[in-house]
């Protein structure tokens, strides 16, 4: 049996390594219809091809007027033909007021809108009937949305790397675009390992546990927008694991394994990758300290530890921020400051990540202890509580950084 | 032309109406494999069918011992056969120490683990070689994860209504489950209306705008886990719109239209639904005040206003919270308190919803003005800033409630 020396690095340094490893994958770009772009990252800057709004339009239902036609005391104006939304209205002659609907184009000559509520009478006349309306004065631009007041043609609309959610895709549609350049979806091979691990659904023999890591990471990766291939569970046979990875490597952009990266006597991932350009070390983090990183046959490789909480923390601390940064997808986690509802202790020379529940009142309580096997506690949490290196203890009421899950 | 009287209700009252309207839809339940349950809501309580961990196991690589065998000064013990993870070990005899890997079952008779780092020598002997090891004392339970210490068989694991993300699905897998009861995915018919609205991609005639609402709401609804059917844009022809809705109503659980619900002269949705059980009124909210709600041929109906920001605010303020509450999916928005980076004014008799960007330092700045057409400003925002009724002005530094998008 063997134990090898471990290098130790900080959370930030390891995240940088993951970023450098995956940067080349971000170069693959494709153009897709807006509908398929939901949840993906914009791969190039997009400039506005037209003004928004495309033309000056009314912010209210009311009357379009020439501001100069109405003195301070108000005036009686002739009612012109109404302007529904979507129509190109005739020019507005002097001394008249055109009924206009919200969003409809301001007629040439008009420069202000008086809301219908301020008109006497305060309802629109039947179209075609000769009528007048008494209106109060309104300054130039009153309830007028100018062309280009949201964005002007040629201006930057969205920057490369933007996460494309409903608001961003809505903007692209408003700009008349139907396709958008996005980063191609990274393809991940996910292999859980361990002689003790069996698929859920079958019988559980003594000493065995059901595989939580596969479902947990598959879910996290898919939620982050990645394409995941799973191989099932690999037993503690280094040769077989190496063969398995060789068989799949060419078809994926990233290989992730779980387990077998620690300092024990039976570390299948370390053994299987001994001949490859993979470094096994310890990140100064609890949980999730043991980490493998490198390439397997030229394909980026990450070896996560074997406990479920360690897997999720590895994903959230290293992979997800890198994906958000390189691909613009998933969206970065919301980071907030919160007050601890209870005291905690932390290993001073490590960055500790605890599971917690943030309340709307700005306090966060811990879910379960520090143990990386506590998957029920994890399932209750809505946040990761970050306790940086150099902190050995915090009191109730102390402020901490919290990442919302 | 006509204008009808509007009833006015609060944001909370309208949300309650939406909840009552959709409650019957939540009754449809199905059982799906864990992989298909990602992002959906659990439809029934799940109790743990087994203990987690299923058996007492080691938290460290080290030696399993009988605590009573080692006095305070330490002891030299005979090295027994090693216990790899996944194996059912032989009972541990008195005076001996079994090499044990993290996650491996504690042998019968053993009651504590001493980490390998504290052993002399601090490495495992070759299996089969007769060897002894000097170990310090360790209390009963030292580095032992007891069976059931995360959750015990029979205890509640997840409650009905839980959003199923990676942690929750990981727990269900750890419990050996392969299927889970979830709420059936609600099917939505989405119809954007307006003579002024055209599909992105074609030419833009004067007075026309590209349809942003369709893409924006389709994205928001799909992101929230709903199945969306789109009909394209309906022109301002009430009879045609009524026919369109009639053709699709039987196949969906909810109809959403955009536009045509206000007090103007050409309000196609109000006119098309005049003979149906739909109420058109004003919610005391800016933007998104005009709202339609009711049923069309027995199918729940929501009429959102016609501006893109109003559509998104309507979805976020009314539909999304109700879906989270009734179906457990999507997950509720994260709500935080933040300090305004700038002053703002708000209509005192309405609940105002502004778009903003929350910074990690806990301040939120506004994106664009209050105008509901500002879709570029919306695309820059990561949060909705809530200014409740009764507030006319806030100063920079004032605290506000913020919903993270």
Is pLDDT at A259 greater than 80 in this prediction? yes
What is the crossing angle of helices B11-22 and B320-327, to 10°? Answer: 50
User: Cβ of A152 under 8 Å from any chain B Cβ?
Assistant: no
Kindly report the number of other CB atoms within 10 A of residue B31's CB atom. Answer: 13
Sign of the alpha-carbon torsion through B136, B137, B140, B142? negative
Q: Are B209 and B197 within 8 A, CB to CB?
A: yes
Give the architecture (CATH level 2) of B8-28+184-327. Answer: 3-Layer(aba) Sandwich (3.40)
Q: Which of A102, A177, A379 sits opposite B262 (nearest CB)?
A: A102
Tell me the pLDDT band of A262, cut-offs 50, 70 and 90: confident
Instruction: Give the tokens for residue A151.
Output: 């964005």
What single string gives the DSSP state of each residue in B163-226?
Answer: B--HHHHHHHHHTT--EEEEEPPPEEEEEEE-TTEE-TTS---TT-EE--HHHHHHHHHHHTT-
Mean pLDDT over the full length of chain B? 95
Residues of A in contact with B175 (CB under 8 A): 200, 210
Backbone angles phi, psi at A203, to 5 degrees: -70, 155
How far is A366 from A343, CA to CA, in rounded Å? 9
CA distances, A196 to each of A204, A212, A254, A263 (Å): 10, 12, 25, 17
CATH class held by domain B57-145: mainly beta
Interface touch A200/B176, C-beta < 8 Å: yes
Q: Which of B178, B223, B377 sits opposite A201 (nearest CB)?
A: B178
Residues of A in contact with B358 (CB under 8 A): 334
Q: Are B153 and B36 within 8 A, CB to CB?
A: no
Mean pLDDT over the full length of chain A? 95
User: Cβ of B21 under 8 Å from any chain A Cβ?
Assistant: no
How far is A185 from A59, CA to CA, in rounded Å? 41
- The mean pLDDT value for A84-91 works out to 90
Which conformational region is residue B354 in: left (phi greater than 0), alpha (psi within -120 to 50 degrees), or beta? beta
CA closest to A84 among chain B residues: B266
Instruction: Give the tokens for residue A40.
Output: 């993906």
Where do we find the tokens 């360790």?
A: B138
Q: Are B104 and B137 within 8 A, CB to CB?
A: no
CA quadruple B252, B258, B260, B263: dihedral, nearest 10:
120
How far is B11 from B307, CA to CA, in rounded Å? 18
> What percent of chain A clears pLDDT 90, i.e. is strictly above it?
90
- What does DSSP say about strands B96-100 and B62-65: parallel, antiparallel, or unpaired? antiparallel
List chain B domain ranges: 8-28+184-327, 31-47+158-181, 57-145, 335-404
- The mean pLDDT value for B313-340 works out to 96
**Selected residues 338-397 of chain A with any CB under 8 Å from a CB in chain B:** 358, 360, 362, 368, 371, 373-379, 381-382
Domain spanning A31-50+155-182: CATH superfamily: Molybdopterin biosynthesis moea protein, domain 2 (3.90.105.10)
Interface touch A84/B195, C-beta < 8 Å: yes
**Selected residues 26-45 of chain A with any CB under 8 Å from a CB in chain B:** 34-35, 38-39
Sign of the alpha-carbon torsion through B238, B243, B249, B251? negative
Contacts (Cβ under 8 Å, ≥6 apart) of A274: A238
What single string gives the DSSP state of each residue in B127-171?
Answer: TTS--EEEE----TTTTEE-TTSSB-TTSEEE-TT-B--HHHHHH
Sign of the alpha-carbon torsion through A16, A18, A20, A24? negative
Is pLDDT at A130 greater than 90 in this prediction? no
Contacts (Cβ under 8 Å, ≥6 apart) of A49: A153, A175, A176, A177
User: Between vectors from CA B329 to CA B325 and to CA B334, what angle results, nearest 5°?
Assistant: 75
User: Cβ of A208 under 8 Å from any chain B Cβ?
Assistant: yes
- Which of A101, A154, A166, A198 to probe the B interface (max B CBs under 10 A)? A166
CA quadruple A211, A217, A222, A223: dihedral, nearest 10:
120
- The mean pLDDT value for B211-228 works out to 98
pLDDT tens digits for range B14-37: 999 999 999 999 999 999 999 999
pLDDT at A20: 98
Is pLDDT at A265 greater than 80 in this prediction? no
CA closest to A156 among chain B residues: B376
pLDDT tens digits for range A310-331: 999 999 999 999 999 999 999 9
Tell me the pLDDT band of A248, cut-offs 50, 70 and 90: very high
Q: Are B97 and B121 within 8 A, CB to CB?
A: no
- Which of A150, A167, A368 to probe the B interface (max B CBs under 10 A)? A167
- What does DSSP say about strands A335-340 and A363-366: parallel, antiparallel, or unpaired? parallel
User: Cβ of A108 under 8 Å from any chain B Cβ?
Assistant: no
First to last CA, chain A: 40
How far is B10 from A287, CA to CA, in rounded Å? 47
Q: What is the DSSP letter of A170?
A: H
Is pLDDT at A7 greater than 80 in this prediction? no
How far is A70 from A62, CA to CA, in rounded Å? 15
Residues of B in contact with A196 (CB under 8 A): 84-87, 103-104
Instruction: Give the tokens for residue B401.
Output: 């409630």
User: Candidates 3.90.105.10, 3.40.640.10, 3.90.180.10, 3.40.50.2300; correct CATH number of B31-47+158-181?
Assistant: 3.90.105.10
> Distance, in angstroms, between B81 CA and closest chain A CA?
13
Write the ipTM: 0.94
Q: Specify the fold of A335-404.
A: Beta-clip (2.40.340)
CA closest to A1 among chain B residues: B126
Among B246, B308, B234, which residue's Cα sits nearest to residue B275?
B246
- Which of A53, A133, A171, A403 to probe the B interface (max B CBs under 10 A)? A171
CA closest to A338 among chain B residues: B336
Is pLDDT at A373 greater than 60 in this prediction? yes
- What does DSSP say about strands A335-340 and A344-345: parallel, antiparallel, or unpaired? unpaired
Q: Of A155-159, A356-360, A377-381, B310-314, which range is least confident?
A: A356-360
Is pLDDT at B294 greater than 60 in this prediction? yes
Is pLDDT at A342 greater than 90 in this prediction? yes
How far is B261 from B193, CA to CA, in rounded Å? 10
**Selected residues 256-295 of chain B with any CB under 8 Å from a CB in chain A:** 262-266
* Residue B183 β-bridge partners: B29
Residues of B in contact with A404 (CB under 8 A): 334, 404
Beta-carbon contacts below 8 Å between A and B: 333
* Residue B83 β-bridge partners: B100
- The 3-state DSSP class for residue B44 equals coil
| Tally of CA atoms within 13 A in the half-sphere of B128 that contains its CB | 0
Interface touch B200/A176, C-beta < 8 Å: yes
User: Strand ranges (DSSP E) for A1-131?
Assistant: 7-9, 29-33, 46-47, 57-58, 62-65, 75-79, 96-100, 112-115
Instruction: Give the tokens for residue A180.
Output: 């958008």
Residues of B in contact with A113 (CB under 8 A): none
pLDDT at A3: 38
Interface touch B35/A89, C-beta < 8 Å: no
* Burial zone of A75 (CB within 10 Å; 0-12 exposed, 13-18 middle, 19+ buried): middle
CA B284 to chain centre: 27
Interface touch B55/A174, C-beta < 8 Å: no
Interface touch B53/A145, C-beta < 8 Å: no
pLDDT at A263: 76
Interface touch A104/B207, C-beta < 8 Å: yes
Tell me the pLDDT band of B2, cut-offs 50, 70 and 90: very low
Tell me the pLDDT band of A165, cut-offs 50, 70 and 90: very high
> Distance, in angstroms, between A247 CA and closest chain B CA?
24
- The 3-state DSSP class for residue A341 equals coil
pLDDT at A1: 37
Q: Are A112 and A129 within 8 A, CB to CB?
A: no
User: Cβ of A222 under 8 Å from any chain B Cβ?
Assistant: yes
User: Candidates 3.40.980.10, 2.60.120.260, 3.40.50.720, 3.30.930.10; correct CATH number of A7-28+184-327?
Assistant: 3.40.980.10
> Distance, in angstroms, between B5 CA and closest chain A CA?
12
pLDDT at A8: 85
């Amino acid at each position: 049996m063997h134990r090898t020396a471990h290098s130790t690095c900080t959370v930030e340094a390891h995240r940088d390594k993951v970023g450098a490893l995956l940067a080349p994958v971000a170069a693959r770009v494709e153009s897709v219809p807006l509908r398929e772009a939901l949840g993906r990252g914009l791969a190039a800057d997009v400039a506005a091809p037209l003004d928004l709004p495309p033309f000056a339009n009314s912010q209210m239902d009311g009357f379009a007027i020439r501001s100069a036609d109405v003195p301070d005391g108000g005036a009686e104006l002739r009612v012109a033909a109404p302007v529904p939304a979507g129509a190109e209205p005739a020019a507005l002659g002097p001394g008249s007021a055109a009924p206009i609907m919200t969003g409809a184009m301001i007629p040439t000559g008009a420069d202000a809108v008086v809301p219908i509520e301020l008109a006497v009478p305060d309802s629109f006349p039947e179209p075609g009937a000769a009528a007048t309306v008494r209106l109060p004065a309104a300054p130039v631009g009153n309830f007028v949305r100018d062309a280009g007041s949201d964005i002007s043609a040629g201006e930057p609309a969205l920057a490369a790397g933007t996460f494309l959610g409903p608001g961003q895709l809505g903007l692209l549609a408003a700009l008349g675009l139907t396709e958008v350049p996005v980063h191609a979806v990274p393809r991940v091979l996910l292999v859980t390992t361990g002689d003790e691990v069996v698929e859920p659904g079958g019988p559980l023999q003594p000493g065995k546990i059901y595989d939580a890591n596969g479902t947990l990471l598959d879910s996290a990766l898919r939620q982050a927008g990645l394409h995941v291939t799973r191989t099932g569970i690999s037993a503690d046979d280094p040769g077989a694991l190496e063969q398995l990875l060789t068989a799949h490597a060419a078809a994926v952009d990233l290989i992730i394994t779980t387990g077998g990266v620690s300092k024990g006597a039976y570390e299948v991932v370390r053994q299987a990758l001994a001949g490859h350009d993979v470094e096994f070390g310890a990140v100064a983090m609890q949980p999730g300290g043991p980490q493998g990183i490198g390439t397997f046959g030229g394909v980026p490789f990450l070896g996560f530890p074997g406990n479920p909480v360690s897997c999720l923390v590895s994903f959230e601390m290293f992979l997800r921020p890198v994906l958000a940064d390189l691909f613009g997808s998933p969206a970065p986690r919301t980071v907030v400051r919160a007050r601890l509802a209870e005291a905690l202790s932390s290993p001073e020379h490590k960055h500790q990540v605890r599971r917690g529940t943030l309340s709307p009142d700005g306090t966060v309580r811990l879910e379960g202890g520090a143990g990386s096997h506590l998957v029920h506690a994890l399932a209750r949490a809505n946040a990761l509580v970050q306790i940086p290196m150099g902190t050995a203890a915090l009191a109730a009421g102390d402020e901490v950084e919290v990442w919302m899950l």
